[in-house]
Structure 1
Amino acid sequence: MSEYLLALENVSLSYEKQVVADLSFQISGGQVLALVGESGCGKTTLLKALAGLPDSGVAITGGRILYDGRDLTGLGCRERKKLLGGEIAMIFQNPGASFNPIRSYRKQFAEMLISSGGFKGEQSYSEILDCFGKLHLPEGRRILDSCPYEMSGGMNQRVAIAAAMLQKPRLLLADEPTSALDATTQKTVVEELLKMKELTGTSIIIVTHNLGIAAKMADLTGVMYAGRLLEWGDTQKVLRTPAHPYTRSLISAIPCLGGRLPESLEGQPPLYGAEQGSCSFSGRCRYKKESCGEYRYQLKEVSGGHMSCCMEGIEESHEYGS
């Protein structure tokens, strides 16, 4: 068995142009990783590549993705599908991507559990209803006999989360799983996902814009920008003592009651496929120096596994409150 459940080695991803470049990280069994950053930085593309979705259009153009020591980049569609339906589960940001809109949930849950070898007849339906209850889904039996098109986006999202939890996967890929939910339900979902992790040892990679969810859930946080990993490490270190100016900008944009006003980040990220020989964030960085023009991308250790690709940030790391 491999030391890490998932390890990426210099992974590059493309559609028609490169959208993720030289991405490397590792997570162990039972760890939670949060990927944060602006829309369009490559987070969702990465999850699709990890899931091996055949219709995603994502091409792995460099590097290796190792799952429990096994190189996924060389597997065919059939083998990847077996993993996705069994050991790997995904929660989509758009719940409509999870279900056939005109088939009942009862039939779709049965098909899902049969394909993963976990269907136990009426016992499975009891487990489904129990999971619905934990996620505050009322009238579970009525929902099971309903079709997705009859439900709201928030209801469909909670059902999709329940489906992923019932698979008890070794690796759960969650793309903004709480974005369609109110604050109370968000809290419930986070708590149930953490309980699942503790009970089953599931590793979770969660894409989120909500740094509060990252702080609550994640052991590790990776900050992505323009297809690259700019900062990486223990979540508390990354969020309390950010070493990269972009991470500081994300934190500074959060409103604080009775404290500082949120600060907006001016400018736009570079276009996909643009040459990034120098720092991709330099055009928006308030700490930019002349030496930044000589920059070549490399994550370097700040302290104790906390990594940043900005030497200026390493020199002037600031501490933020919780």
Structure 2
Amino acid sequence: MNTKTAFIPILLLSLLPGCREGKNNTRTSEAQIPVKTSEIEASKTLKEISLSGNIEGFKTVRLGFLVAGKINFISVNEGQMVSEGELLSSLDPTNYAIAKELADIQVNQVQDEFDRLKLMHDNNSLSESDFAKISYGLQQAKAQQKLHTKNLEDTKLYSPITGVLLKKLCETGEITGTGIPLFVVSDIRRIKVSAFIPESELKYIKPGQTARVFIPALGNTFDGKITEVGSAADVASRAFSVKIEIENQGLRIRPGMIAEVKIITGENQEMLLIPAVAVLRDFNNQSFVYLIDVSAGRAFRRDVGLGRAINDKIEVLSGLRETDIVVSGGQQKLVDGSQVISIK
């Protein structure tokens, strides 16, 4: 009995090395995933600044009446072209016409009195003070006549520029006050792109530089020129305003459209390029690639920041170094830490 009992522990000890060896064989036999790899390309190119902006009319005016009253006529609707000097709207002129008529009567009455007293003054039958009083009375009556004449004329509203009616903020029959904006007219024969540039990029641009402006709504790219660069930063964004002027042939570009602007600065910059096919995105829309650890024979995930696309490559702004090696084929099969073998 003692001999059998002593034999069992010895047998168990002899089996342990075999178990360890089996586990090691399992670890070393992990499948290697074949992948294609690419080196990161360092390149020099002209620095390009990309901005997003909105289209504005070259000149935009907000129009309202100089007198109050009831709107009795509107000649145009939103989106229609208007010419300089064209009648846009008018007010009921009845009250102003009556006031003008009363002013005319007052002038005639004072004029007759002035003429009579002037004869007396010329014959030295009227004192200077009395004559001065009637003279001032006539001047006052004529000034009132001019004021009421102008008020009557101001019941009509004309466009001061040629352009398109962007907004009509009233309807016939409404009562409006003095100076309330009722119409917005914009000259769109030339248009401006209004954009903002970060303060770190401000040193690269100046008035007179050319820009390429792509308008997605039209699917076309237009040549423009920088006409204004803001001198003070926006308090909230710390960015500076930029205005880019474009000729609007055919009047196809309309205010409010979105514009994508590219400005070539003339400055050289270094960039890192990788194949566009190497980039993946996760459920959070985060861009990432897989890097090869040559010594370990494994691939590891690395989040990256991307810039512009250049042919079949894409610029990497952050996350990679020039010496890194990225997976450009077969990366869809990988997880972080996968064992790989290069087949490039």
State the TM-score, normalized to the length of structure 2.
0.20
Computing the radius of gyration from Cα coordinates, the structure with the larger value is 2
TM-score, normalising length from structure 1?
Answer: 0.21
Higher relative CO (Cα under 8 Å, sequence separation at least 6) belongs to 2
Pick the structure with more strand per residue.
Answer: 2
